[in-house]
A and B are shown apart, each in its own frame.
Chain A
Amino acid sequence: MDVLYFAWVRERIGLPKERVETSAATVRELVDELRAREARYEAAFADLSALRVAVDQDLADFDAPLAGVRELAFFPPMTGG
């Protein structure tokens, strides 16, 4: 699936988008996989309470299942308006 990063999450990971192949069942499992992979992911995902996740462009929670998901995005709380 495509994984997108925005704002300081993008800056900490160092790229806006990447293709990730995973057998993780939930968003949380994928986050754990990424954190174990490299320090920059650990830096971005250290505090999940500071992050939001969107699954196929809808806000979701970290226990959301990944089966059939095409696009996942991680970002800080939004500051629109």
Chain B
Amino acid sequence: MRIVVQEAPFDFAAEAQGFSRGLSGMGAVVTFSGLVRDDDGRLAAMEIEHYPGMTEKAIRAIAEEAQARWSLGDLLVIHRHGLLAPGETIMMVATAARHRAEAFEAAEFLMDYLKSRAPFWKKELTADGAEWVAAKDEDEAALDRW
């Protein structure tokens, strides 16, 4: 299991390839990456604030829960903070399992929990000013299925 919280960009393809190497007995790797989305062409940048210390602790707890629920060969979470431009990669998860169902489910579980339980806050910066992204009720509701 590897958890990385960093400001610097990372190479998604290289990380995905590195993750897939050296796995033993695993038949499935699922990767997900989240990008800075510009809905209407007005986004100048996204600023991501986090809670150093708690961030790593919270992600580790979520990852350990995923490992307890599914039989995973390995698991990776990378999440950035700081100032990001539209289209930049914010974060990624990767899961490895014997079969794809487990790898997909574990990746979805990680994403649902990272969204609402890891202490990150997104702020959208546009020409008109800055606005904190509000948490959505559906993101909270997504946790109920687990």
Which residues of A pack against B, CB within 8 Å? 4, 6-8, 54, 57-59, 73, 75-81
Which A-chain residue is minimally distant from B61 (CB atoms)?
A: A58
Interface residues of B (CB under 8 A from A): 34, 49, 51, 53-54, 57-58, 79, 90-91, 111, 114-123, 132-135, 140
B114 and A80 contacting across the interface, CB-CB below 8 Å: yes
Contact B53 A80 (CB under 8 A): no
- The secondary-structure label for the interface of chain B is mixed
12 residue pairs bridging A and B, Cβ less than 8 Å apart = A6-B51, A7-B132, A54-B119, A58-B57, A75-B51, A77-B135, A78-B119, A79-B120, A79-B132, A79-B134, A80-B115, A81-B91
Q: How many A-B residue pairs have CB under 8 A?
A: 69
Identity of the chain A residue whose Cβ is nearest the Cβ of B132 in the assembled complex = A8
Across the interface, do A77 and B57 meet the contact criterion of CB distance under 8 Å? no
Partner of B118, one of A7, A73, A78: A78
Q: Let me know if A76 and B132 touch, CB within 8 A.
A: yes
Q: A6-B119, A76-B135, A79-B133 are in contact. List 11 more A-B contacts (CB 8 A).
A: A57-B53, A57-B57, A75-B121, A77-B135, A78-B117, A78-B121, A78-B135, A79-B120, A80-B79, A80-B114, A80-B116
